[in-house]
Structure 1
Amino acid sequence: MGKVMSMVANKMNRFNVENRAHRILERDKPVPAPKYESNIQDMQRALELDPQLVDKLNKKDLALDDRLKNVYVTSEDKFIDYAAQRTDPNKPLPLSRKTPQDFEYGYREPTRVVAGRCTLRQAMQFITDHQSDPELWTKQRIASDYKLKEEVVGNILHYFKSFNVYIPDKGQKERILSQSSKKLIESKSED
């Protein structure tokens, strides 16, 4: 019911809007907006101080007009090159507006790695090397190659693994389904 009432109210408000707007615009003087109580009190105080304030505001002040005629504004067009002011040789603005390429692991890898630390790329490399050939890539060899502690390398190899692709046998799926259906039939026959 509320939606119907709001639609009716909107149509009533929009009815004959153009003619009403023209009637308001054709009036000689627009109706002034209502004044706040504090504004009315301020105007009354100003009139108490100077009763002829309204007359002064409506009349042209000749002295003020003469002084205004003596004021001249001169301007000299100078082109200010803001780009030249902004350029700092230590911080030049970028010349390319292309978005930078995303890094492989989501962040820029450091160029220099401190001993006892490794980058994500190096960690992924020695984890996959160890998974592919654990006899060749032992934790002692990885620790010596990457200058890491053996204990840290052992923890990394224990808790982190690279993804393996597992492709199941099509026949295995059928065997599992047939075995589970046999077990289901046997359990129903026992009941």
Structure 2
Amino acid sequence: MGKAMSMVARKANRFNVENRAHRVLEREKPTPAPKYESNLRDMERTLELDPNFVDKLNTKDASLDTRLKDVYVTSKDQFIQRVLQRQETDRPLPLERTTPDDFEYGYMEPTKTSSGHCTLRQAMQFINDHQIAPEEWTAMKIADQYKLKEAHVANILYYFKTFNIYIPDQKYKDKLLTQTKQKLIQENPSTE
């Protein structure tokens, strides 16, 4: 029902639109919009300063009219020319078509660091050094070498560790496999 009502309302609004538009256009002068009080006060001030202000507004200024007639606006489509210029250039194609290598830690490391800061590579290095020889690489020595606060270095060494690779002995691995196989056989003798 809503669609039918909107269609009827649209037809009623559009009925005789052309004739109504012609009637509005044939009127002598449209009624001006009401003015705000502040606009009326501004107009009164300008009339006090220049009593011929209204006459100036209603008369045609010949000098302004001639200047307006001398102004010509021309436009040219620059986009097509730019596309043609791009196609006509004799620049050589790039010779190296390989993608650049990724950085070791996923970002480019800075070459210089300010005091109180260290790079990820330096942090990994002193964490690893401390993990290998904690008596030699103490938090105080690392803080002096990298110009860091000792409390920060102590926290880094406490909370962060490098991964250790653990490679089990092959004999021990074989022994574990035989033991588990024997247990399985003992638990389920019917599977043999």
Same fold (TM over 0.5): no
Q: TM-score scaled to structure 2, two decimals?
A: 0.44
Q: TM-score scaled to structure 1, two decimals?
A: 0.44
